[in-house]
Amino acid sequence: MPKSKSSSSKKLTHIDREGRATMVDVSNKPETRREAVARGAVYMKEETLGLITDRKIAKGNVFETARLAGIMAAKRTCDLIPLCHQLNLASVAVDFKVDGKNKKVDIEAKAKCAGQTGVEMEALTAVSVAALTIYDMCKAVDRAMVISDIKLMEKRGGKSGEWKR
């Protein structure tokens, strides 16, 4: 497959010339407003979706617990993912949308900060842990649930500017 101009000029920033893992030095970058949006989904049986929406899951309110877990995870991203910078998050929001037709819960996380590096990993971590929390809370009634489609949807701020899927 031929390389595009953009892919041939880019390099991995977390690897040094000797192939060792290294944390990117952002000390000379200006602080700018950063925002990122990530999404994912948990597919499940129709009955499971009904138990969630009717608040009949034995472990409690699935959406509020998953929301808190996602927010807490975003705040701990630098502890979970090697080489991620610790960020002073200004805001993390995690929201859910029930899609009965496709038997799934859609998850969206928005993260914001003023900093020297992006907040994409925090948004992705929030979605991932919210999805894992939904699975954990519902696994007693549906072990066949599938966590899927976790992806960055958009980011703003910094030298690279705005990006949208």
Number of domains in the chain: 1
pLDDT per residue, tens digit, the chain (165 aa), is 444 344 455 777 888 888 888 888 888 888 999 999 999 999 999 999 999 999 999 999 999 999 999 999 999 999 999 999 999 999 999 999 999 999 999 999 999 999 999 999 999 999 999 999 999 999 999 999 999 999 999 999 988 889 999
* Inside any domain, residue 26: no
Q: For position 67, which CATH number holds?
A: 3.30.70.640
Task: Reply yes or no on whether 142 is catalytic.
Answer: no
* Inside any domain, residue 17: no
* Inside any domain, residue 10: no
* Inside any domain, residue 4: no
* Inside any domain, residue 148: yes
Domain range enclosing 122: 32-164
Which residues face 97 on adjacent strands?
Answer: 106
* Inside any domain, residue 112: yes
Catalytic residue of the set 25, 79, 95, 136: 136
Q: What tokens were used for 43?
A: 């597919």
* Inside any domain, residue 3: no
* Inside any domain, residue 91: yes
Which string of DSSP letters, residue by residue, matches 107-148?
Answer: EEEEEEEEESS--HHHHHHHHHHHHHHHHHHHTTT-TT-EEE
